[in-house]
């Protein structure tokens, strides 16, 4: 069965004049999309992105599509999440074993 992705627009907890987008997969919080005002960009923040590296240097859960050959030729990124418990150990994210 395909995963259900839902989005929730909410105020930033620190910067009250900024809204963020929370991303849920099957009802589980997975990521936040926030503005990066310094870079004039957006940040996708998540501890749940599939994270084995690829030749291109992106996590395996992130793919880039240049849009060529699609009906609307606009580049996009696809991000696959794998929600699971984790802990931070010595400055690194360490996924917990799920029983």
**Which one, of 17, 28, 79, lies nearest residue 8 by Cα?**
28
Q: Which two tokens stand for residue 73?
A: 């030729």
Q: How confident is the model at residue 41 (pLDDT cuts 50, 70, 90)?
A: confident
As for how many domains the chain has, the answer is 1
pLDDT of residue 17: 85
pLDDT of residue 51: 64
Does residue 31 or residue 1 have the better pLDDT?
Answer: 31
User: pLDDT tens for residues 78-99?
Assistant: 788 777 788 888 887 787 776 6
Mean pLDDT taken over the chain: 81
E runs forming strands in 1-99? 5-11, 19-25, 28-36, 41-45, 62-65, 76-79, 86-89, 92-95
Does residue 10 or residue 41 have the better pLDDT?
Answer: 10
pLDDT of residue 57: 65
Judge if pTM exceeds 0.75.
no
Beta strands 28-36 and 41-45: pairing type?
A: antiparallel
pLDDT of residue 24: 93
Domain ranges, residue 82: 5-95
pLDDT of residue 6: 94
CA 79 to chain centre: 6
């Amino acid at each position: 069965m395909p995963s259900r992705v839902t989005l929730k627009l909410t105020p930033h907890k620190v910067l009250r004049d900024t809204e963020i987008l929370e991303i849920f997969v099957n009802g589980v919080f997975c990521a936040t999309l926030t503005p990066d005002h310094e870079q004039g960009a957006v940040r996708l923040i998540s501890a749940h992105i599939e994270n084995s590296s690829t030749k291109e240097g992106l996590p395996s859960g992130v793919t880039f599509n240049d849009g060529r050959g699609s009906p609307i030729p606009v580049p996009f990124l696809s991000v696959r999440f794998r929600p699971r418990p984790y802990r931070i150990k010595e400055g690194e994210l360490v996924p917990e074993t799920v029983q």
